[in-house]
Amino acid sequence: MKHHLPPLDGLKAFEAAARHLSFSHAADELCITKGAISYQIRKLEAHLQCDLFKRTVRQVYLTDNGQMLLQTTQSLFRDLNETLLRIEDDTAQTGVTVAATTYVAARWLSKHISAFNEQFPDVQVMLQHSVNSADFTLNDVDLAIRWGACGSALSRHQFGQIPMALFPVASPELLSRYHIENATHPFAQSNSALTFSDVPLLCEDRQQDLWQEWINASIDASPYKLDAPQLSNPRRVISDANVRVQAAIDGQGFILADAMMNNEINSGLLVAPYHNKLHGYGYTFLQSGNRIQNQHAQTLKQWLAKYVTPTNATE
């Protein structure tokens, strides 16, 4: 149904100003400027084609139309707030929030959530993708999946892991451009060291040099008596994993892949020319910190735990 209601921002500004009979107090409450309050109310009055306030030098007063609109907006906002609270309560009882990157959600989690929903159709699973952001906190979600170093339990919130070794992949076009052929080691052939050192390496950030860790592990596992070189390859930082994968497909450089990238490898979009792998990394599954989990969150945790390596939580 079409309506001719004014913008919500104007109604919010009016209701606050009318309740306080002060544009300044309304501005403080809504965390905007007094000028913004005045602008929103002028727009509202223009929309309604009538004055809502009588303005004096030191005070504002409501007109008859303003009084009538205040009663209506307060009633509507009160009803709206009660409805939203009921929705939040219902969601809290039936919903489960899982924090995971879009990379993990699309390549691993989605198929397990689909199977879970077939058995538990009344449970609403909500995905939250800011798991790697600086302000992420485990207390805001029920479950979380984070990439990083694997090993023994790191915290009392950890309930499982999926270790996944890392290995370099690149597009066939890039391998052809740099004349890189399948080899057990990047420096196995006399001319491959110079070739490999020229290839751009795509990475998540510069704080943790996984490429140097990979080459060190490759040297340690190699039968060749070589010292681990300090890689000087051009580095291109691409923080989003999905964008990084696409950049590798487009031939922008090598990327460190894991088993979640098997579709691209099996289809030939990406090729793994070296057999060397970097172990010790993978995905850690965590449950909420101080947040009380509902029964549905516990059910989903048990469902996902079937597919991960259990860890012994520690305090």
- What confidence score (pLDDT) does residue 93 get? 59
**Span 167-278: which CATH code?**
3.40.190.10
Q: Give the pLDDT confidence score for residue 84 in this predicted structure.
A: 77
pLDDT of 314 higher than 50: no
Looking at the chain, the whole-number percentage of residues with pLDDT higher than 90 is: 53
pLDDT > 70? residue 195: no
User: Within 10 Å of residue 247's Cβ, how many Cβ atoms?
Assistant: 18
Q: Tokens for 262, please give them.
A: 């098997």
Residue 312 has pLDDT above 70, yes or no: no
Identical fold for domains 8-91 and 167-278, yes or no, is: no
The better pLDDT of the pair 94, 158 is held by 158
| pLDDT score at 64 | 94
pLDDT for residue 304 is more than 70: yes
Distance of alpha carbon 64 from alpha carbon 230, whole angstroms = 78
Q: Are 172 and 271 in contact (CB under 8 A)?
A: yes
pLDDT of the residue at 192: 44
Name the residue ranges covered by the structural domains of the chain. 8-91, 92-165+282-310, 167-278
Would you identify the CATH topology of the domain 8-91?
Arc Repressor Mutant, subunit A (1.10.10)
For the chain, give the mean pLDDT: 85
Judge whether residue 118 has pLDDT over 60.
yes
Which of 28-42, 124-138, 186-200, 297-311 bottoms out in mean pLDDT, i.e. has the lowest?
186-200
Residue 216 has pLDDT above 60, yes or no: yes
Percent of the chain with pLDDT over 70: 84
Q: Hunting for tokens 């989003």 — which residue is that?
A: 240
d(CA 127, CA 255): 26
Fold of 92-165+282-310: D-Maltodextrin-Binding Protein; domain 2 (3.40.190)
- Cα–Cα distances in angstroms (integers) from residue 289 to residues 94, 142, 144, 159, 183, in the given order: 19, 8, 10, 12, 46
Q: 61-70, 132-141, 238-247: which has the minimum mean pLDDT?
A: 132-141
